[in-house]
Amino acid sequence: MVEDKIVRCAWLTKDPIYIKYHDEEWGRPEYNSHRLFEMLCLEGQQAGLSWITILKKRKSYRQLFFEFNPYEVAKLQDENVVNLSQMSSLVKHKSKIESIVNNAKCYIKMEEEGEDFSKFIWSFVNYKPIVNRWKTNDQVPSQTLTSATLSSRLKAKGFKYVGPTTCYAFMQACGLVNDHLTTCISYKKYT
């Protein structure tokens, strides 16, 4: 997308929320475990939808899921899940809402077993971002062997809504891979 001679990734729309997200967040390496947990959960909410849909609901997700504090989220009961899955400020999908609670419990189990979530996630890219050199959107994959491996390992730990495509979108969003197009203003920022 070109706006005022600023070149950004071609997938971007003119929506100011999307532009702000692209310029300030997408592809920036994230190492905070709670923030990584939030993004993994939100990417799972996106499955079958557009990211802008989730982005516009993110404030509500943060408010209703205790800023994605896994220890608070894990306390939610079945009746809470039913109520949350009926709210228009969230994606009305009971199993997706349940997945956030489930994933919080999996996150806590990892910590209780001495496994740091951030270190676990970053281990799949040897603790440094993979810098790709895509020139067009057509070159950017929807999943990779690495995202499939991450997906498999997360599923083995009990996580839900973490398929290979979701995991790749998560890796892109959290800067495990730099998939900004080489012509994008943000490419060099994260290289």
Catalytic positions = 21, 43, 51
Contact by Cβ (8 Å): 187, 25: no
Q: Annotated binding residue at 180?
A: yes
C-alpha to C-alpha distance for 34 and 171, rounded to whole angstroms:
15
Q: Annotated binding residue at 22?
A: yes
The pair of structure tokens assigned to 112 is: 């209780």
C-alpha to C-alpha distance for 31 and 35, rounded to whole angstroms:
8
C-alpha to C-alpha distance for 34 and 117, rounded to whole angstroms:
8
* Sole residue written with tokens 């996630």: 121
The b-or-e profile of 14-23 (16+ CB within 10 A means b, else e) is eeeebbebbb
Q: Annotated binding residue at 106?
A: no
Residues in the annotated binding site: 9, 22, 180, 184
Residues in the annotated binding site for Zn(2+): 9, 22, 180, 184
